[in-house]
A and B are shown apart, each in its own frame.
Chain A
Amino acid sequence: MKSLSIKILLLYICAIGLVFDAKAEGDDPVSMVINTTDGIFSEVNDNLEAYQANPADLQALVRSDLLPILDLHYSARLILGRAGRGIEKDKVDAFAEAMINLLVSRYADSLLQFRSTEQLWVMPQRGELNEKLTRVRTRVRLPQGGEAPVDYAFHKTPEGWKAFDIMVEGISYVTTYRNQIMPEVQAKGIDSVIERLNSGEMKLAD
């Protein structure tokens, strides 16, 4: 078992420090993974000092570049599971928003720490794209040697393809958070969980 903080760190790495031979074209899931990570990386690389001086700008960049390809409200639904039943819509939205904010700020923080030299490969796609669930498999080369497998789960929404889960070495972000957050919501209530998320403590991602 390698734990989640490593996993999540790896997720960050795949969005940064990527070197690609060619820009991919199109709006299929594979191109989206490549273009988005590549775009964020070169932007950060070009203006590193400015972003270090002003992390809020970086969070804004991550928000504007990364969020469009993620379906985090869908992720939030999967994570909340039955614990979300009977909870008002605005509470659920607040929960999803709290998770998004936290992930964005963590992601931005780690962008400043990990730079260049890492490489990412996208594995050949098996079979055809399934609109309900398509897996994009990638490999990230780690700074200390070796590589880590990072897979993305995409589905097609009215707004196009969106990623809603990430698996590092087979460990799913949605499944793992779900099994922690569902019982917590059931025991303590959604308000206390939202409050904890907003206070910046993401228990699983420290």
Chain B
Amino acid sequence: MQNKPAVFFAILLSLLLSACAGTQNRHTDPVNDPWEGLNRKTYAFNDGLDKAIVRPVAVAYDKVMPDPAKRGVGNFFRNLDAPVTYFNQLFQGKIGQSGATLARFFINSTIGLLGFFDVATKWGIPYYNEDLGQTLATWGIKKSPYLVLPFLGPSSGRDGIGRLGDSFLHPVGRAIHKRGVWGYWIFRGIDTRARYLDQDADLREAYDPYVLMRDVWLQNREYQIYDGNPPMADYDLYLEESYPEPESESGTEKPESSAE
């Protein structure tokens, strides 16, 4: 019965363990990405899968579905995440906000016809997004190494575990653990992928697509964890590493000096 999450967990665990071994390649960000060597391999695997299967399917889906239908499907998936947000708001002590999430869930599931219509937003009920990874962060695991999950993409050690835990709070996640309702997640994955088609050019043309994906994910994740008020970048550090101010150019540094 429970073998599917067990398999997932085994993959995750083996990733974590093997990560400790294969870290000798590039180190573009040793602080946030100590497992870069392994992550780049997983990224390459995901990218190959994306080019071969996922993206073509997402492109077809995007072409076939009319915009209102796409919006409805997005609303439907988002509505089913509400229980995950609700419980994690409770875990984080955000009792007032959790009431809003519960109200959203009931309104959209009923009047909103199983969540296809986001009636709650029209009525001015705020939308929140919480998950177990964010809860663990507020409980003290502020930093966690970046981890690219096979099939699922950017994550971290903390958020990988969080995803697994959240699957027990998710209404369809629970059904999977019992019966294996994989179609839902595949459909959802295609829907999600289709939303990022516009950004493919950025990644394709980036100097280092892996680093771009990582930086965007890490910064956006931090933003979610701090509920929209994250600490700012360490500009002082950027400046320290920077070249001297034009006025104070002393000419002591040679071109090709030992950067790094």
Binding site for B on A (CB under 8 A): 1-6, 77-78, 80-87, 89, 92-93, 133, 135, 145, 149, 153, 165, 167, 169-172, 174-176, 178-181, 183-184, 186, 201, 203-206
Asked if B138 CB lies within 8 Å of chain A CBs, one says: no
Q: How far is the CA of A174 from the CA of B199 in the complex (A)?
A: 19
Q: Is B198 touching A6 in the complex (CB atoms < 8 A)? A: yes
Q: Which residues of the partner chain B approach A77 to less than 8 Å between Cβ atoms?
A: 239, 242-243, 245
Q: How far is the CA of A4 from the CA of B213 in the complex (A)?
A: 10
Asked if B139 CB lies within 8 Å of chain A CBs, one says: no
Contact of B256 among A86, A165, A183 (CB under 8 A): A86
Asked if B211 CB lies within 8 Å of chain A CBs, one says: yes
Q: Is A180 touching B211 in the complex (CB atoms < 8 A)? A: yes
Asked if B238 CB lies within 8 Å of chain A CBs, one says: yes
Q: Which residues of the partner chain A approach B245 to less than 8 Å between Cβ atoms?
A: 77
Q: Is B202 touching A5 in the complex (CB atoms < 8 A)? A: yes
Q: Is B238 touching A87 in the complex (CB atoms < 8 A)? A: no
Q: Which residues of the partner chain A approach B208 to less than 8 Å between Cβ atoms?
A: 179-180, 183
In the complex, per-residue mask of B244-260: 1 if CB is within 8 Å of any chain A CB, else 0? 11100100011111011
Q: Is B206 touching A204 in the complex (CB atoms < 8 A)? A: yes
Q: Is B199 touching A83 in the complex (CB atoms < 8 A)? A: no
Which stretch in B14-22, B51-59, B220-228 binds the other chain? B220-228
Contact of B259 among A85, A178, A181 (CB under 8 A): A85
Q: Is A181 touching B238 in the complex (CB atoms < 8 A)? A: no
Q: How far is the CA of A206 from the CA of B206 in the complex (A)?
A: 10
Q: Which residues of the partner chain A approach B244 to less than 8 Å between Cβ atoms?
A: 85
In terms of DSSP, what is the predominant structure of the interface of chain A? helix
Q: Is A172 touching B219 in the complex (CB atoms < 8 A)? A: yes
Q: Is B228 touching A3 in the complex (CB atoms < 8 A)? A: no
Q: Is A171 touching B219 in the complex (CB atoms < 8 A)? A: yes
Q: Which 4 A-B pairs have the closest CB atoms?
A: A170-B223, A3-B199, A84-B243, A86-B255
Q: Which residues of the partner chain B approach A204 to less than 8 Å between Cβ atoms?
A: 202, 206, 212
Asked if B123 CB lies within 8 Å of chain A CBs, one says: no
Asked if B160 CB lies within 8 Å of chain A CBs, one says: no
Binding site for A on B (CB under 8 A): 28-29, 121, 153-154, 196, 198-199, 201-203, 205-208, 211-213, 215-217, 219-220, 222-224, 228, 230, 232-233, 235, 238-239, 241-246, 249, 253-257, 259-260
Task: Please name 6 pairs of A and B residues whose Cβ atoms are closer than 8 Å in the assembled complex, sorted by A.
Answer: A1-B217, A3-B203, A4-B202, A81-B238, A172-B233, A175-B215
Q: Which residues of the partner chain B approach A206 to less than 8 Å between Cβ atoms?
A: 201-202, 205
Given A3-B196, A153-B235, CB of A176 within 8 Å of CB of B219 = yes
Q: Is B220 touching A82 in the complex (CB atoms < 8 A)? A: no
Given A4-B202, A5-B198, A165-B235, CB of A175 within 8 Å of CB of B219 = yes
Q: How far is the CA of A119 from the CA of B114 in the complex (A)?
A: 31
Q: How far is the CA of A167 from the CA of B223 in the complex (A)?
A: 10
Q: Which residue of B lies closest to A76 (CB)?
A: B242
Q: Which residues of the partner chain B approach A174 to less than 8 Å between Cβ atoms?
A: 233, 235, 238
Q: How far is the CA of A1 from the CA of B219 in the complex (A)?
A: 9
Given A2-B199, A86-B257, CB of A92 within 8 Å of CB of B28 = no
Q: Which residues of the partner chain A approach B242 to less than 8 Å between Cβ atoms?
A: 77-78, 80-82, 84-85
Q: How far is the CA of A83 from the CA of B243 in the complex (A)?
A: 8
Q: How far is the CA of A178 from the CA of B215 in the complex (A)?
A: 10
Q: Is A86 touching B216 in the complex (CB atoms < 8 A)? A: no
Q: Which residues of the partner chain A approach B259 to less than 8 Å between Cβ atoms?
A: 82-83, 85, 186
Most buried by B among A6, A83, A169, A170: A170
**Least distance between B229 CB and chain A CB atoms (Å):** 8
**Least distance between A138 CB and chain B CB atoms (Å):** 12
Q: Is B255 touching A180 in the complex (CB atoms < 8 A)? A: no
Q: Is B228 touching A149 in the complex (CB atoms < 8 A)? A: yes
Contact of A170 among B28, B202, B219, B239 (CB under 8 A): B219
Q: Which residues of the partner chain B approach A93 to less than 8 Å between Cβ atoms?
A: 246
